[in-house]
């Protein structure tokens, strides 16, 4: 359903406030190439970005191209990423993804979301991360746990499903806002709008936020 004028107005106000508060917000995963960001994003599932950033320098040195991941002994790759959790599934996903990259795209990460989401281990969130951060392509809004939580608290969505939350945000804001919005909401979630005990009294969005679902003290 299309966003109303009031919903769009609120979203624009929130986006402007976040831009003032976090003008330099960017992806917290460390990478140099689209492939590195793709791998790091797969590793970040159920894991902190800080932990991923501790693991990836050695991983990226050991596997500099998609072909290296594709032909690596699976057990070796598992050991390299073990501390990120769920390492067996992640290793299988990374290897299967990179084999497809080698077979179909010459080892390069495609720049079309339709192609990215067809790769093993790559959902819409991961595709949006790679396209937005590595290529500067506004394919959509990255919805992680921070973005989902804050969007509901701000009244930007009532949805719980990430795809539906993304749909609401895409309706409310123009594509030029999509990439930065995710980074800024994530920073805001870490600094103020935490899952437990959000710092509402200090929050720069205090006057705009209806605090939906936030328990009053």
**Which pLDDT does position 1 carry in this prediction?**
63
**Which pLDDT does position 83 carry in this prediction?**
98
Domain contains 124: yes
Residue 92 sits in a domain of what CATH number? 1.10.340.30
Residue recorded with tokens 């590195």: 36
In terms of Cα–Cα distance, which of 161, 132, 165, 172 is closest to 151?
A: 165
**Which pLDDT does position 32 carry in this prediction?**
98
**Which pLDDT does position 217 carry in this prediction?**
59
Which residue among 109, 134, 159 closes a domain?
134
Active site residues: 125, 144
Residue 193 sits in a domain of what CATH number? 1.10.1670.10
- The percent helix, strand, coil of the chain (3-state, each to 5) is 60, 0, 40
Domain that holds residue 114: 34-134
Examine the domain organization and report whether 129 and 113 are in the same domain: yes
CA dist 199 to 41, 118, 181, Å?
28, 40, 20
Angle between helices 49-62 and 34-43 (to 10 degrees): 130
DSSP letter string, 39-54:
HHHHHTTTS-HHHHHH
Beta-carbon contacts of residue 199 (< 8 Å; ≥ 6 apart):
191, 192, 193
The residues of the chain scoring below 70 in pLDDT are 1, 217
């Amino acid at each position: 359903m299309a966003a109303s004028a009031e919903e769009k107005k609120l979203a624009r106000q929130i986006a402007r406030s976040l831009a003032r508060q976090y003008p330099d917000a960017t992806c917290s995963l460390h990478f140099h190439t689209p492939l590195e960001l793709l791998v790091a994003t797969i590793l970040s599932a159920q894991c902190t970005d800080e932990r991923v950033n501790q693991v990836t320098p050695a991983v990226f040195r050991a596997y500099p191209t998609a072909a290296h991941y594709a032909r690596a002994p699976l057990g070796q790759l598992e050991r390299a990423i073990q501390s990120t959790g769920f390492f067996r599934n992640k290793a299988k996903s990374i290897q299967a993804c990179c084999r497809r990259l080698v077979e179909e795209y010459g080892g390069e990460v495609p720049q079309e979301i339709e192609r990215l989401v067809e790769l093993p281990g790559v959902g819409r969130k991961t595709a949006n991360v790679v396209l937005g951060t590595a290529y500067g392509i506004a394919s959509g809004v990255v919805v992680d746990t921070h973005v989902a939580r804050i969007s509901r608290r701000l009244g930007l969505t009532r949805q719980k499903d990430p795809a539906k939350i993304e749909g609401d945000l895409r309706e409310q804001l123009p594509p030029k806002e999509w990439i930065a919005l995710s980074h800024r909401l994530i920073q805001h979630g870490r600094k103020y709008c935490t899952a437990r005990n959000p710092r509402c009294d200090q929050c720069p969005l205090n006057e705009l936020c209806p605090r939906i679902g936030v328990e009053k003290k």
